[in-house]
Structure 1
Amino acid sequence: MSKTFRTTDAATASDAHLLDETVMVVRAAGAALRERFGEVVRYRSREELMRALAVNDAAALDILRPRLTALRPDAGWVEDELDGGALPAGEWWVVDPAEGNVNHLHGLADWAVTATLVRENRPVLTVVHLPLTGETYTALSGAGAHLDGRPLRVAPTTDLALGIVATSQARPDEDEKIVRRVGSSITAMLLDALVVRTSVPATLHLVNVAAGRIDAFWQFAGARADLLPGALLVTEAGGRVTDTEGHPWTPRSEGLLAAAPGIHTQTLTTLSH
């Protein structure tokens, strides 16, 4: 039994060291994107927009991919940040080189760089770095969530009517049925919650749930890269993370609800209406 504990402790220590190394890599990528930030990037077509987004992605990926691969040579790499669903067995880096990329292009401050290591379809560690503020959010499975080394805890709110809640859209070309469901859910929350925030990207709402600044976040559909970091952060900060039906959330789930435990059930009830 003691040998098992030593093995577990060693694995945790190894992951903690890996988290520290990942922080340095993600911050370096964030610095590269910060240098590109400022003026609004104009585009006149979807093709021009996609090219501008790709340039930002490439600037960060040129740092992220080789350095993270060096840290974990056997880990797979998720190429498409909009991919969803379960991953194959083993370890995978799930990275969003410019989470909120469209905000970056428009000179808006709501963007970040994220990297999450997933092991057997469970997030093990994550780093979310906000280059404009210098804030770095981290979480390690079983070891808590932190902001620049300070522990995070979700809000103690127990009444949805006193809560600030938020949602986001998964992608610009979302299925019409999901778009209408998002709209209906916002209307329902406007009736039941104190304040409703709607913006992209999802990760920045989720770090606010983990930090206790807002009380709940929900999203219908979504990709691994925009939900995995926040799901781990909120869980490790003491929040409750499920799908929008109340079942345990996994990368296969069709929606996500991350909330302070005191209003999770109330939020589910509102979403069901």
Structure 2
Amino acid sequence: MTDHADLLELAVEVAREAAALVTERRRAGVEVADTKTSPTDVVTEVDHAAEELIRDRLLAARPDDGIVGEEGDDTPSTSGVTWVVDPIDGTVNFLYGIPQYAISIAAKEGDEVVAGVVLDVTKGEAFTATRGGGAHLDGRPVRVRDVVPLEHRLVITGFSYQRETRVKQAAAIARLLGRVRDVRRLGSAALDLCYVACGRADAYVEEGLNEWDLAAGGLVVEEAGGRWAQRPGVGGKRLVLASPAGGFDDFVAAVEGCGFTAS
């Protein structure tokens, strides 16, 4: 079996190199290269360049591994290890110069994520985890916040790029606002999950995430004492919820009661 610490070390090394590329290219200016699910769901040339770098470095170190990435073609694994890559999570923030975007790299053995890093490009913070090895921020152990009553919880969320789905999500958020401390929309799902893991928020809910959005961040949440799960969202896509384990069930009940999930 592959050493999970070795996988994490490689992931962090490659993420830092990709972050340097992204930072340099951001200074030079950014142009939209393409769109995905809607005209507002953008891809930049830097997304493509960062993913190409990550693929090249991972496969140079481990040529038999597979890769699943947001921007490129999947590469099958013959080693049993597959990398799940988001070259820039928070591309719209990146496009506008809002300093909240990250490189996310996770390693899977079969269907189980065993190592992952979410590297905040502008702050340099590295959220890391290995299966059974705990979660860390820049090498220091992190834990989720202590559970507080629902009305005292700070919740992070996000919105779909599909107009019709956003309208439904806005109605659900409006109902949730009356039941919690407040709601934040920061713009990077991977960092949102890590913020729950390190205690910067009490919970997270968002519809429309893909595997590369949550692979590394989801492991960080689990290893920090949290839980995450998926439900069918009101817009027909995957709804992801995360919170400290002790307050998870009542958060799920609140989310369902406010209309985030499909009826």
**Structure 2-normalised TM-score?**
0.83
More helix by share: 1
More strand by share: 2
Residues 1:82 and 1:181: Cα distance change in structure 2 (over 3 Å): farther
Q: What is the letter of the counterpart of residue 246 of structure 2?
A: G
1:133-156 CA deviation, whole Å, 9 max, x = no partner? 111111101111101110010000
Compute the RMSD of aligned alpha carbons: 2.9
Q: What is the letter of the counterpart of residue 166 of structure 2?
A: V
Matched residue, 2:16: 27
Aligned residue pairs: how many? 247
1:269 aligns with 2:253: yes
Unpaired runs of at least 5, structure 1: 1-10, 246-252
- Amino-acid identity (%): 35
1:187-228 CA deviation, whole Å, 9 max, x = no partner? 222011001012322111111000011000012232111111
Q: What is the letter of the counterpart of residue 257 of structure 1?
A: L
1:80-114 CA deviation, whole Å, 9 max, x = no partner? 3599xxx9994321101111112111111011111
Matched residue, 1:241: 228
SS of residue paired to 1:53: strand
The CA distance in 2 between the partners of 1:73 and 1:134, in whole Å, is 28
Q: How does 1:62-73 map to 2 (within 5 A)?
A: 62-73=52-63
Q: Does 147-156 or 220-229 show the bigger shift?
A: 220-229
1:37-75 CA deviation, whole Å, 9 max, x = no partner? 2487477x969x89x834111331232111111233222
The CA distance in 2 between the partners of 1:136 and 1:34, in whole Å, is 15
Contact 1:40 1:106 in 2 (8 A): no
Q: How does 1:51-200 map to 2 (within 5 A)?
A: 53-80=43-70, 90-170=80-160, 172-173=161-162, 176=164, 178-200=165-187
Matched residue, 2:190: 203
Q: How does 1:216-255 map to 2 (within 5 A)?
A: 216-244=203-231, 254-255=238-239
1:165-201 CA deviation, whole Å, 9 max, x = no partner? 011135x237x3x434422321222011001012322
Report the alpha carbon displacement of residue 271 of structure 1 after superposing the two structures with TM.
1.1
**Structure 1-normalised TM-score?**
0.81
Contact 1:18 1:71 in 2 (8 A): no
